Structure 1
Amino acid sequence: MFTANTERRRFFRIDDTLCISYRLIDPETASAGLKAMEPLSRQFSVAATLDVLSQEAQRIMLRIEKQNPEWLELYQVLDAKINTLAQAMMFACSDVDAQNCRDVNLSASGVAFAQSSLLDIGQNLAIEMYLPSTLALILVYGKVVNCQELGEGQYSISVDYTHIRAEDQELLIKHVVRRQWQQLQQNKMRAESLS
């Protein structure tokens, strides 16, 4: 059986910048978990479906590209249009502001972020996050596990997810891996430029 600590160690953690919002939820809503999330999570499930379909389409388009490169260009334009519409639809149903992002420490099992207000340990939250690498807006329930004063009126809030859909956890894992790869590439380029 996994404890909270071993569960956290199963996933990579990265520092990233995300658009994120949260709201306090009562213990009854939190304990209802995925059942309580169901009416809300339908609007968020579009991203997971689009991500899977895009992966399938990419495999097909790589084969077609050899026969007719213009088809790949057409696919990329249509894919961009669909992603733009999906993103607009997701943000219309969300409290996340695409212009208001913050630094976070992120994994598939929890998130930490700084803010100006204190939260009580044990407080239940509904958290919405926009993951730009997968164009996904996800909803999770979590519990505040740590709140430390950083100084200058700022607090570091650590949240463990208590309820997350499997599809959303998969999107989080993909996002973390992609961002980690991007960060490694940037560090490599920086090191090469200094040599």
Structure 2
Amino acid sequence: MEAHCKEAIERRGFVRIDDTIVLKYRKADMNDFQNNDGRLSADMSSFTIKARFAAIDQKLRPVRHSLEQRSPELLTYLNAIDEKLNLLADLAFETEHDLIDLPTQEVSLSAGGTSFLTQKPLELGTLLELWLLLLPSHAGIITYANVIYCKKINDNNQLYPYKVGVEFKNIREEDADLIICHVLKKEADERRRRSKLKVR
């Protein structure tokens, strides 16, 4: 894990960005939430497999760095295995979830929560089951979230006239870390893009 990513993870929840992701949700059953200690049974579906891979990669980064110093050939071999596993993960996801047909939308995203537009208002305190697909990595996160605000927007958006803000509830620590690193990478990419435009 890069140093700036580690530092941001320690400041969990303070890093936020406007982003384009795939998002879907449904109202959750509070009884299921309480009976399962706030954990989702769908947490290990093919939708989340890339996120699970990313969490494992983060844990193994010190080992990988050591291997890079000792045996570049072994590291090359392990990278090839990683590539094969990612290809299989993409295939499993696309087969089950039909990636091409999933719509994207603009959100404001942090490790603590997100905001997005909806067709209908949601009551404050509503518990949601939230599915987030980060792009372009296709890392999927499934978590619970509480609605903390819902307001009607005045920008002539007739299809999605409401803006909803949610706070993640019992999100896996690895998923929160993944969001932070995703946000930082997006910020770095945007800075590079702006720098190139200035050079021109």
TM tier, shorter chain?
A: 0.7 to 0.9
Query: Given the superposition, is the C-alpha separation of residues 94 and 185 from structure 1 closer, same or farther in structure 2, using an over 3 Å criterion?
Result: same
User: Is 1:113 matched with 2:120?
Assistant: no
| Structure 2 CA distance for aligned equivalents of residues 36 and 79 of structure 1 | 28
Q: Which runs of 5+ in 2 are unaligned?
A: 1-10
Equivalent residues in 2 for 1:6-21, closer than 5 Å:
10-21=13-24
Unaligned stretches of 5+ in structure 1? 1-7
Indicate how the Cα distance of structure 1 residues 122 and 103 shifts in structure 2: closer, same or farther if over 3 A, else same. same
Partner residue in 1 for 2:44 = 42
Q: Which moved more, 1:105-114 or 1:84-93?
A: 84-93
The residue type equivalent to 1:158 in the other structure is: G
Distance 1:95 1:40, change over 3 A: farther
Question: Which residue is 2:130 aligned to?
Answer: 127
- Distance across 1 between alignment mates of 2:71 and 2:175: 30
In structure 1, how many angstroms separate the alpha carbons of the residues matched to 2:12 and 2:52?
A: 28
Residue of structure 2 aligned with 1:156, choices 163, 182, 199: 163
AA at the equivalent of 1:102: Q
Cα pair distance change 1:34/1:40, threshold 3 Å:
farther
Contact 2:113 2:167 in 1 (8 A): yes
- Deviation string, structure 1 residues 126-173 (Cα, Å, up to 9, x no partner): 011112355421111001111111133321111011121111111111
Q: Secondary structure of 1:138's partner?
A: strand
Secondary structure at 1:182 match in 2:
helix
1:170 is aligned to: 177
String of CA shifts for 1:75-114, please: whole Å, max 9, x gaps. 6554333212213324555697764111110000000011
Q: Deviations over 1:109-130 (max 9, x none)?
A: 0000112222122111001111
RMSD: 3.2
Q: How many aligned residue pairs are there? A: 181
